[in-house]
Structure 1
Amino acid sequence: MGVPGKLIFAVACLFLADRFYCGEILVFPEDGSHWVNMMVILKQLHSNGHTLTVVRSARSLYIQERSSFYTSITINPSQMEDIGSGLFDALLIRSLELRTMSPLWRFIEQQKDITAILKTFHGVAHQMICTILEDTLLINRLHSAKFDMMLTDPAFPAGVLLANYLHLPLVYNVRWLNAGDAHMAIAPSPPSYVPTYNSLFHDRMGFIERAENLLRYLVIRFQENFVILPIYSNLLARYFPSDFDLLSMQQSADIWLLRVDFAFEFPRPTMPNIIYIGGFQCQPPQPLPADLESFMQSSGEHGVVVMSLGVMVAALPMEITEIIADAFAQIPQKVVWRYMGERPSTLGNNTLLVDWLPQNDLLGHPKTHAFVSHGGTNGIYEAIYHGVPVVGLPLMFDQFDNIHRLETRGAARLVEVATLTSEGFKEALLDILQNPSYRQSIQKLSRLHKDQPISPLNNAIFWIEYVIRNKGAGHLRSQAIGLPWYSYYCMDIFVFFLALAFTIVWTAFTFCRLICFRGSPKKKVE
């Protein structure tokens, strides 16, 4: 065989070796913005030659039944509560109401609302997995498909339960789990310096802040054990062995692809099977459509402000929308605003309303000078990636924490939506646009975020394929997940040593007393 023949043979062997590791992947995603970033991973897996099967609900808002890069299994739970845009609109109105309350009363009302939300969303997940497990034909089909692994977003545990039922290696694309952030479930998270969900604290807390943070931590644990776990208790008793429990199944995932980057988050303990992929959905900007590019160029030296409130909130209440439109009309910049709803009467000629915008490409455009955002994780990382300072209008969930993290690093201004005024919003906009420190701060974050040996997306794909090649990654899982709490904190050892010390002291005391008693002279009887 000549040199060209050997070269062709070598290339063919490399190609076949690469194809050998292509797997059958079962995907159980979450809807909404979670699906937006899951699609990025799925498209890359598909381009690498993997076969993808996506489990979706018939009532899904964004997960399409037909796709060019996956096949789908559609589940139609008969009694599942409908979760649509109407629910998120109601949550938005309630969140604005809470923001006007005193801190103590807001905390109490928030926990009541969170408990109700957890019951609703976990009730939907419970009905989804029950429908799947009750369908014998579907279960047999899933077994016979011989999937190599499952990829799921475990914000709600239907995918986790199905993976454990099918005995599949499990990889998470994860940020939130149960009632808090996923880190709490897998790695030590001391509340003395790890801020809890929605606390708005940083990692340097004073006594009062640490006390409140501990209280929030205990509340999260309470909600997990007494609100969430009872929802699944009957299902576990019916379909799983008696020694299976939900928390252990959640902790047993082989790889946790965590949507976190420590250029943005606060440092904290970690585990070998946690892979940080924060900002994996970010890409260099692509050319804009001709009409949008023309609008961007028409901004001249002043540049453009981009505004988007994510995929789940089409528009704010009209009185707030009018305030924002009025403030936009008073600045020299052009504005591209993703907005669906009635046109505000205060809208200026400098503002373009669009039903959809290519957010990543707009943020990467050299004419973009500021980003008005609700603080969703996807948008925040895109702002960091492209180095665009942020005016934050957090509305609900983790958005307050996200904007707070950027603000503590000097890269954002948080504006309270519930008490918004045109003058206040305009002042925040002009501060972000005219004060160079904001752009310098976020460009520093951008440099830190990009200074990695491998891109977050490629890192995610490597570890998914790692699990396929090695049929799991159990060697990376800490044995702490199997320990009861008293063993984890060495309470049993502490009690043993305490008992041993007590026994030694008691024995010594008894021995001394006996010796003293025997050595003392007896009284003579007269």
Structure 2
Amino acid sequence: WHHSKSSLLYRGGKVLVVPLEGSHWVNMDILVKALHSKGHSVSVLRASKSWYIKEESSYYNSITVSVTEGFDEEFVIKALSKLFSFLRSETSLLKFINFQFEMFSTMSSAHARVCEMITNMIEDKGLMKKLNESQFDLVLADPAWGAGAILAHYLQIPLVFNVRWTTNGEGHFDIAPSPLSYIPLTGSGFSDKMTFTERVKNILHYSLLKLQNNVFIKPQYQAICDKYFQTKLDFTELQQAADIWLMRVDFVFEFPRPTMPNVVYMGGFQCKPSNPLPQDLEVFVQSAGDHGIIIMSLGTFVGQLPKDVAADLTDEIAAAFAEMPQKVIWRHTGDKPATLGNNTLLVNWLPQNDLLGHPKVKAFVAHGGTNGVQEALYHGVPVVGLPLFFDQYDNLFRLQERGGAKIIPPHILDKTVFLQALQEVLHDPSYRMNMQRLSRLHKDQPMKPLDQALFWIEFVMRHKGAAHLRTESYKMPWYSYHSLDVIGFLAIMAFTAVFFTVFIVRCICCRMCLKRKMKRE
């Protein structure tokens, strides 16, 4: 063991990374850099129309797969526009059903692009020969797309997930027991203390997600498994067979729930102490004086709101900022709002972590993406939340439940509502105190989250997997997993025993009655 470990550390491991775009790549990139700094050779699989993943890099080799369509900002903006149209219209059951099917169609389209990439990759015999000859020690993948699990099985090498989402939804639901009575579905907006009505809605929400996966998403990946693998394979089982799940959550932030031995928590692994700001930003920040700074960003995916709603919302936001005594730094790539005040600086990009760690920052206006929420928690900065889609409302809701955030649904946003929320978060000291308490809890760990992640990646490389930590429950049929077959068998046995007991007693009683009758006669 000692020989193999030292040998590996000397030569370094070979890691094949299968990432996702946008903010998912931003945090996967941190793991890639960390693996490179520890002497490992990293190759990153990317689409020819990749949005964020660059072909040239000093710390990884890229493997580009040709595709006809990519996943880009236009795709996200179209989905966001549909969402805003639905939220701002009068809702009815029919409109809700139509909207859900539109969202299902959008997600199906995204996964179809991934499936095209997987198919092109497997059909490219030269590429697959090169990947096989590379003798990778491990595949590190984001399971929100199904490419990583399929590729790892095709190459027959261990699989580690950098995960919050799978193709099926929130990662825990794929790998760990998840009682719906106290574990809220992401997107439900519920806490772990649900009323009866909320529990009913939670189960209906779960059923809707299962429908989406089983009808629109899983069949696309299953078709690839059926076509390219001789042995009959279930795609869901393929994902559940991953050796280690590096989960991007922290129980300071997440509601307590059951978990499994091969789930490793690394929430906030991307967070770090702040660095000095660029000179021009530092001058602007210092000009705020004692009032301090507010920063605003809608995350990696959204530099601006959809054009059909942007003019209204951005003007309302800018007008509210203009009335604040604080200075504002706002990441905004769209047209300049007509109501922009002299106190607001628009930027195409901002050093979010470094700004959140600056002592003059008083509040963070955020969309609620996992990265931004965890960075705010790490630095103890209270949040005004403008959730847009996916898990963003739920992330902000967890902070709000702990007293560190105030949520404004964007479809009710106007200058007055936004201004009131800002004033509340800035002037009620409980928001900052609660966030600073959460920050202390998060940092009080025996091992930094990034070091924890690196240890388990290297553990899998050293031992060529982690099968001893993996449950076999995912191979069981659903009725066996829930012991319905055992319950049915025991029920039949009990019924049979009762039936025969009643039958024997009746026979005895009948015989005794017959004997008495014969005696009387």
* Partner of residue 470, structure 2: 477
* Partner of residue 405, structure 2: 412
Listed one character per residue, the Cα deviations across residues 369-426 of structure 1 (whole Å, up to 9, x for unaligned) are 1001011111000000000000111111111111111111111111121221112111
* Residue correspondence of structure 1 range 222-241 to structure 2 within 5 A: 222-241=211-230
Shift of 1:120: 0.9
1:95 maps to which of 83, 95, 98: 83
Shift of 1:251: 0.3
SS in 2 for 1:99: helix
Aligned: 1:294 with 2:283: yes
Contact 1:21–1:469 (8 Å) recurs in 2? no
Listed one character per residue, the Cα deviations across residues 340-396 of structure 1 (whole Å, up to 9, x for unaligned) are 121112111111111111000000001101001011111000000000000111111
* Partner of residue 310, structure 1: 299
* Partner of residue 132, structure 2: 143
Distance 2:244 2:472 in 1: 14
Aligned: 1:40 with 2:41: no
Shift of 1:72: 0.7
Aligned: 1:400 with 2:393: yes
Shift of 1:313: 1.1
* Partner of residue 278, structure 1: 267
Provide the aligned length of Structure 1 versus Structure 2. 512
Distance 1:263 1:333 in 2: 30
1:159 maps to which of 148, 152, 159: 148
* Partner of residue 462, structure 1: 455
Aligned: 1:265 with 2:254: yes
Cα root mean square deviation, aligned: 1.9
Contact 1:179–1:224 (8 Å) recurs in 2? yes
* Residue correspondence of structure 1 range 55-134 to structure 2 within 5 A: 55-77=45-67, 80-101=68-89, 105=93, 108-134=97-123
Shift of 1:517: 3.1
Distance 1:344 1:508 in 2: 83
SS in 1 for 2:227: helix
Shift of 1:495: 1.0
Distance 1:396 1:109 in 2: 17
Listed one character per residue, the Cα deviations across residues 473-511 of structure 1 (whole Å, up to 9, x for unaligned) are 010001211111111111111111111112212222222
Distance 1:463 1:494 in 2: 39
Listed one character per residue, the Cα deviations across residues 110-150 of structure 1 (whole Å, up to 9, x for unaligned) are 53233112211111111111111111111111111110010
Contact 1:118–1:179 (8 Å) recurs in 2? no
Shift of 1:524: 9.0
**Once the two structures are aligned, what percentage of the paired residues are identical?**
49
Listed one character per residue, the Cα deviations across residues 258-309 of structure 1 (whole Å, up to 9, x for unaligned) are 0001111100000000001111101100111111111111110000000111
Distance 2:206 2:398 in 1: 19
Shift of 1:241: 3.3
* Partner of residue 486, structure 1: 479
Distance 1:21 1:286 in 2: 33
Shift of 1:200: 0.4
Structure 1: give runs of 5+ residues left out of the alignment.
Answer: 1-12
Aligned: 1:510 with 2:503: yes
Shift of 1:33: 0.6
1:22 maps to which of 9, 12, 34: 12
SS in 2 for 1:310: coil
* Partner of residue 243, structure 1: 232
Contact 1:175–1:260 (8 Å) recurs in 2? yes
Contact 2:384–2:408 (8 Å) recurs in 1? yes
Contact 2:377–2:435 (8 Å) recurs in 1? yes
* Partner of residue 489, structure 2: 496
Segment of structure 1 superposing worse, 246-255 or 506-515: 506-515
Q: What is the identity, as a one-letter code, of the residue corresponding to 2:270?
A: Q
Q: What is the identity, as a one-letter code, of the residue corresponding to 2:166?
A: L
